[in-house]
Amino acid sequence: MSDQTSTDLREEVRSKYAAAARAVLEPRPGVTAQSVELSGTGSCCGSSAADSCCGAGSASDAVGGFSDNLYREGETDGLPEEAVLASLGCGNPIAVADLHEGEHVLDLGSGGGIDVLLSARRVGPSGFAYGVDMTDEMLTLARANAASAGAGNVEFRKGEIENLPLPDASVDVVISNCVINLSTDKPAVLTEMFRVLVPGGRIGITDVVAEDQMSPTERAAAGSYVGCIAGALSRAEYLDGLAAAGFTGTSVTFTNEAAPGMHSAIIRAVKPAIV
Ligand SMILES: C[S@@+](CC[C@H](N)C(=O)[O-])C[C@H]1O[C@@H](n2cnc3c(N)ncnc32)[C@H](O)[C@@H]1O
């Protein structure tokens, strides 16, 4: 991909998610973060909501595609409504990551902050949860949600997941919910996850993943890049990429077929304790 194409795609993604955040920050009748994400040329797996991809399994507005309930009954109780309304994930990385008291967690592409706030609860006051997002409007929303939740152990940083604004070996766990498929440089994301993890640290990620036989053209036919599916890695590409970055104990498990050949998936891996 040329530098120009990559920059153009990233700006398209940023503008789409800025509009999704504004739908929550400045509510208008009939406009939701999910409907914005699926609107216009950015619609993902097809032209109807029933074919939708990210956002389809939002905590508040499940419309098909991915699983209907990303979060367990009661799991989002007590969170600011705006954090739940802005949920645009395709899984529940908190459930995948098995977080413990005192751990330091990083959420890649933290959006309105739902998974950072849930992580912060899980790791408690002796732990910490960071979110990184490149979209100013999402950061504004996430910071407002953290303030309204009274969460003292969270921080949202502006940055790109291909060049994370965190030092080496600074977090125990990296989570992410339906974001890596949007990246124009996925090897850089995998390398950055490895860099910021402590030795022995782990990833617990949910993402959109293609079956191995799907060609890039077939993936593109499943929807636009912005809507998330066309940019997806295949299962083998994910496993190879994680191994190339240095991870061990890798697995990519399909959980729900969102469109023919395209799945929401759980991705797990470990940074070896001795690198
Ligand atoms: C599909 S939404 C998911 C948001 C959140 N994880 C959730 O589950 O609600 C994608 C988010 O990732 C951010 N994002 C996309 N590409 C990014 C990149 N390359 N670097 C940083 N953030 C990115 C967008 O701004 C947006 O907030």
The string of DSSP letters for 163-214 reads B-SS-TT-EEEEEEES-GGG-S-HHHHHHHHHHHEEEEEEEEEEEEEE-TT-
Whole-number Å distance, alpha carbon 220 to ligand 1 midpoint, is 20
Q: What's the CA gap between 44 and 41, in Å, rounded?
A: 8
Q: Which of 141, 57, 156 is nearest to 107 (CA)?
A: 156
Tokens at 160, concatenated: 């790109």
Report phi then psi at 163, rounded to 5: -155, 75
Q: So what's the pLDDT on residue 231? A: 81
Atom of ligand 1 nearest to the CA of 54: 1
DSSP code for 11: H
pTM: 0.91
Give, in order, the Cα–Cα distances in Å from 110 to each of 17, 118, 130, 223, 274: 11, 12, 9, 23, 29
Q: So what's the pLDDT on residue 41? A: 41
Atom of ligand 1 nearest to the CA of 18: 25
Atom of ligand 1 nearest to the CA of 159: 21
Q: Which of 75, 42, 100 is nearest to 223 (CA)?
A: 42
Summarised one tens digit per residue, pLDDT across range 113-168 is 999 999 999 999 999 999 999 999 999 999 999 999 999 999 999 999 999 999 99
Average pLDDT over residues 233-240: 97
Tell me which residue has its CA closest to atom 11 in ligand 1: 109
**H or E, element range at 230:** none
Average pLDDT over residues 182-191: 96
Number of H helices, E strands in the chain: 9, 8
pLDDT grade for 230, boundaries at 50, 70 and 90:
low
Tell me which residue has its CA closest to atom 10 in ligand 1: 179
End-to-end CA distance of the chain: 31
Whole-number Å distance, alpha carbon 188 to ligand 1 midpoint, is 16
DSSP, collapsed to helix, strand or coil, labels residue 82 as: helix
Atom of ligand 1 nearest to the CA of 184: 19
Atom of ligand 1 nearest to the CA of 21: 27
DSSP, collapsed to helix, strand or coil, labels residue 144 as: helix
Pocket of ligand 1 (CB under 6 A): 13, 17, 54, 87-89, 109-112, 114-115, 133-135, 138, 160-162, 177-179, 182-183
Whole-number Å distance, alpha carbon 74 to ligand 1 midpoint, is 24
Whole-number Å distance, alpha carbon 190 to ligand 1 midpoint, is 15
Summarised one tens digit per residue, pLDDT across range 16-70 is 999 999 999 999 999 999 888 767 443 333 333 333 344 443 433 333 355 556 8
Tell me which residue has its CA closest to atom 26 in ligand 1: 111
Q: What's the CA gap between 217 and 89, in Å, rounded?
A: 24
Name the residue of 36, 182, 192 whose CB sits within 8 Å of the most ligand 1 atoms, as the mutation to test its pocket: 182
Average pLDDT over residues 205-222: 88
Tokens at 29, concatenated: 């009748």
Whole-number Å distance, alpha carbon 166 to ligand 1 midpoint, is 17
Whole-number Å distance, alpha carbon 200 to ligand 1 midpoint, is 26
Average pLDDT over residues 199-224: 88
Q: Residue 99 above 90 pLDDT?
A: yes
Among all chains, which residue has been given the structure tokens 């109807």? 48
Residue with the bigger pLDDT between 173 and 5: it is 173
**Mean per-residue pLDDT of the chain:** 87
Q: Give residues with Cβ within 8 angstroms of 189, minimum separation 6.
A: 108, 161, 162, 180, 183
Whole-number Å distance, alpha carbon 110 to ligand 1 midpoint, is 6
Other Cβ atoms less than 10 A from the Cβ of 122: the count is 17
Atom of ligand 1 nearest to the CA of 90: 8
Atom of ligand 1 nearest to the CA of 228: 1
Q: What's the CA gap between 251 and 269, in Å, rounded?
A: 7
Counting every residue, how long is the chain? 275
